[in-house]
Amino acid sequence: MIKLLKRYITPEFVRFVLVAILNTLFGYGVYSLLLFVGLHYSVAILCSTVLGVLFNFKTYGILVFKNSSNKLIFRFVLVYCVVYLCNTGGIALLKSLGISEYIAGALMLVPVGLLGFVLNKIFVYSKK
């Protein structure tokens, strides 16, 4: 069991989780603020995602994956497009079950965060 945990809980993954906490606080704060001022949840997600991409590109690249290349921004943006679609779809599904937009957004944090890590590791910052 410990060998299995060591295999998946790498220093890179731990750095990702710590940086993700910071990035999530920023992104969810923007999302909540935009909901509070009356924007539709899909627009709030879009705005928080766009602002988050600008911030997250550098924090994930430098602090997590040890890569500061600006050439990777296009792939990073594509990953966030996929994450946005999954997040919006998940929130829409949870809303259809009667869950508030705030709670639905919070419930989607972990699955979309894990999706973002996997996609960034494979498609953006892979060490080929």
Residue 20 exposed, middle or buried by CB count within 10 Å (0-12, 13-18, 19+): buried
Which positions ≥6 away from 26 have C-beta within 8 Å? 51, 52, 55
Q: For residue range 59-116, list pLDDT tens digits in order.
A: 999 999 989 899 999 999 999 899 999 999 999 999 999 999 999 999 998 899 889 8
CA distance 115 to 86: 9
Q: Is residue 54 part of a domain?
A: yes
Sign of CA dihedral 21, 26, 27, 31: positive
Q: 104 lies in a domain?
A: yes
Q: What is the tens place of the pLDDT at every residue in 30-61?
A: 999 999 999 999 999 899 978 888 888 989 99
| Distance in angstroms (rounded) separating the CA atoms of residues 94 and 98 | 7
pLDDT at 23: 86
Q: Is residue 5 part of a domain?
A: no
Q: What is the pLDDT of residue 9?
A: 79
Question: 61: domain range?
Answer: 10-122
**Helices 41-58 & 73-96 angle (0-180, nearest 10):** 150
**Other residues' Cβ atoms within 10 Å of the Cβ of residue 79:** 24
Query: What is the pLDDT confidence band of residue 5, given thresholds at 50, 70 and 90?
Result: low
In a domain, 102, yes or no: yes
Task: Answer whether residue 128 shows pLDDT above 80.
Answer: no
Mean pLDDT rounded to a whole number for the chain: 89
Domain assignment of residue 93, yes or no: yes
In a domain, 30, yes or no: yes
Residue 62 inside a domain? The answer is yes
Residue-level pLDDT at 71: 92
In a domain, 128, yes or no: no
Domain tally, the chain: 1
Query: Does the pLDDT of residue 11 top 80, yes or no?
Result: yes
